[in-house]
Amino acid sequence: MKIGILKTDAVRPEWVPDFGEYPDMFIALLAREDPGLEFAVYDVEEGIYPQDIDEVDAYLITGSKSSVYEDKAWIKQLMVFVRELHARKKKLVGICFGHQIVAQALGGKTEKSTKGWGQGLHTHTFVETPPWHDGGSPELQILVSHQDQVVKNADGARVLAASEFCENAVVQIGEHILTFQGHPEFVPGYSSEIMDYRREMIGDEVYETGMASLQESHEGDRVARWILNFLKQ
């Protein structure tokens, strides 16, 4: 299987030596579960797209510091591409910004949440068990970093997991689109760097709670298995 990663942001240069760029994080995560995977990276923030939509088997949209409702040409172009993928029923996974832009492009809405920032490890609870799920605990422990939230889902979307903080945490559309608000590709060290950098922005209470949560287990590898199950089913 060949996965096309749609890169929507760059990691801060001082963090790249330790953590890589966002596509590197996803390649490391997914390749641990299936070393035979192939990858192609498309920097859509720079307007780079596949010449042929079928040159890969599936797509994944990364997270971004941008907001999907910003008036940026590259965001509008990406929404057009999401609609094309949806129309073609091409397999697509969205993470954080990717989760939000799928909703925004397909009839939903994303906006800045009145609940403030989500940082550190959060628990998202499944309300139904889809076929790609492992059938284990309905609770998912996942690293998050967001202030924007999906407030209206895409047409035809099913909410599979939620929390009190994030009502639309895991969403599926048909059998071809799956999106997560959380970041399976993050590691605690990277979350810590983000919170240190944004401490003044997110506030001391969110910072301290988020940093303390990093002592708990993050289930990114579990989500990687789910993503691959979904893409292969």
Q: 82: domain CATH number? A: 3.40.50.880
Q: How far apart are CA 126 and CA 140, in angstroms?
A: 8
Residue range 9-49, pLDDT digits in tens? 999 999 999 999 999 999 999 999 999 999 999 999 999 99
The mean of the pLDDT values for the chain is 97
Residue range 147-193, pLDDT digits in tens? 999 999 999 999 999 999 999 999 999 999 999 999 999 999 999 99
* Tokens describing residue 80: 């057009």
Which residues are known to be catalytic? 96, 183, 185
Residue range 44-63, pLDDT digits in tens? 999 999 999 999 999 999 99
The reported pLDDT for the residue numbered 68 is 97
The reported pLDDT for the residue numbered 34 is 97
Q: Count how many domains the chain has.
A: 1
Residue ranges making up the domain that contains 122 = 2-232
Q: What is the dihedral of CA 164, 213, 125, 152, to 10 degrees?
A: 50
Beta bridge partners of 70: none
State the burial class of residue 71 (Cβ atoms within 10 Å of its Cβ: 0-12, 13-18, 19+).
Answer: exposed
Q: How far apart are CA 46 and CA 49, in angstroms?
A: 9
